[in-house]
Structure 1
Amino acid sequence: MNNSLSLFHITRPSVLKENAPLLIMMHGYGSDENDLFSFASELPDDFFIISVRAPYPLSPYGNAWYAINFDAEKGKWNDKEQAEASRDLIAKFIDEATENYPVNKNNVTLLGFSQGSILSYGVALNYPEKIKNIVALSGYVYHDILPKDLENRDYSNLNFYCSHGSVDQVIPVDWARQTPTFLKSLNIKHQYSEFPVGHGVAPQNFFEFKNWLLERI
């Protein structure tokens, strides 16, 4: 546990002593670094796994990557400035992690759930040179935190695994269904799957993205 870096985090070292593929986990709104870390023991031993805690504490517990405000007049809205700050903080943390741990900076995977998934799209599309693979679970593309010159960027190294629950009561599946079309428009490699669950990760979903990762390790 090295907390001198810019995000509090926990780690599961790789069986490889150097140049290990790095997997960074980003939890959802109101959760913490322990949530997705429960997957760590089931994921390939080659991965050096880091699970990070989002920077904004919530009351009474949990953390967020950015505030979600429930305003009577505006409805539900996101704090764009906080989202952008978190996006850039994750990018900075990737650099710190690759300097401080025995990992391969050219083999970095982001695994995000819900708000962590939304941030993983933002980080990958703003900083594609830092990322190789993205596992985006139960999220969507938040266009306000993407670069304005998407069409001029080189995304040829990126590969996305995206999944969603078909009866998700938190993030509508219709939002997620727009993702494949969007990624295709940018010629980004991707796979999209749906599972008959709500806002969560079904066992068959876990096995599918685990196998997807195994093929790309």
Structure 2
Amino acid sequence: MAEPVEIDRAAVRWTRQDEALPLLVLLHGYGSDERDLFSLVPFLPEGVTVASLPAPLGAPWPMPGRSWYPIDELERRDPASVTAAAEAVLRWLDAEAADAPSIALLGFSQGASVALQTAREDPARIAAVVNLSGYAAPGDLPGDAALRERRTPVFWGRGSRDDVIPPALIVHTAQWLPEHSELTGRVYPGLTHSVSEEELADVRRFLDGWLDGLQAPAPEDPLDG
């Protein structure tokens, strides 16, 4: 079992703090920090609160920035360290976004794996996940069956020339996501371990769909009346 970790709440970057708006949480990649994905705000939908979180661990010297879990645990079958990071995100949500009407997560690389793990830990809480150049952590979690039933919308985008994520994890994710989510997936020819404007346009459309779904009227219960 991994040791609990915590998000530095003072370091979180916000576009605004408005609990009446849907919340989009950004989870950066290994060796980066909360300032990185915050630069994507101009590409993201309006009408949401955006919060960019710092990972709880420092990356080992001489790597700059921060990490969500030790990089040498990338291919472990035991997802305990990824789960510890996801639990830290959920505790942060408890403290800072308990009344948000809907929550989506957008992560890159390590942050993407934590975003998926957070949805697996609490399927009812996370309405949508954007997985950029990331993967689904191996291993089973108690929430996986509920996630499979709920069919949470997930966008998975990756580059055809991304050689950072091990092939075995890509194969695992390609099998796991369609079984556990409503998957929108795309591979971008020539893209490395990075994000392109083309991919960001696809992300914007996906997130617009999340927001449109919040405005749609609830279906009538056939048992009413």
Amino acid at match of 1:24: V
* Percentage of identical aligned residues: 28
1:68 aligns with 2:71: yes
More strand by share: 1
Alpha-carbon distance, 1:68 to partner: 1.5
The one of 184, 187, 211 equivalent to 1:191 is 184
Amino acid at match of 2:95: E
Alpha-carbon distance, 1:11 to partner: 0.4
Distance 2:19 2:114 in 1: 28
Distance 2:147 2:14 in 1: 32
Amino acid at match of 1:133: A
Amino acid at match of 2:65: G
Q: 1:207 to 1:84 in 2, by over 3 A?
A: same
Q: When the two structures are superposed, what TM-score results if normalisation uses the length of structure 1?
A: 0.82
Amino acid at match of 2:117: G
Q: 1:152 to 1:202 in 2, by over 3 A?
A: closer
Residue 138 of structure 2 aligns with which residue?
Answer: 143
Alpha-carbon distance, 1:151 to partner: 3.1
Contact preservation (8 Å) 2:159, 2:194:
yes
Which residues of structure 1 form unaligned runs of 5+?
71-75
The one of 106, 110, 116 equivalent to 1:111 is 106
Q: When the two structures are superposed, what TM-score results if normalisation uses the length of structure 2?
A: 0.79
Q: What's the Cα RMSD here? A: 2.5
Alpha-carbon distance, 1:97 to partner: 2.0
In the comparison of the two structures, how many residue pairs are matched? 201
Contact preservation (8 Å) 1:106, 1:131:
no
Contact preservation (8 Å) 1:29, 1:114:
yes
Contact preservation (8 Å) 1:6, 1:89:
no
Residue 55 of structure 1 aligns with which residue?
Answer: 56
Contact preservation (8 Å) 1:135, 1:160:
yes
Contact preservation (8 Å) 1:165, 1:195:
yes
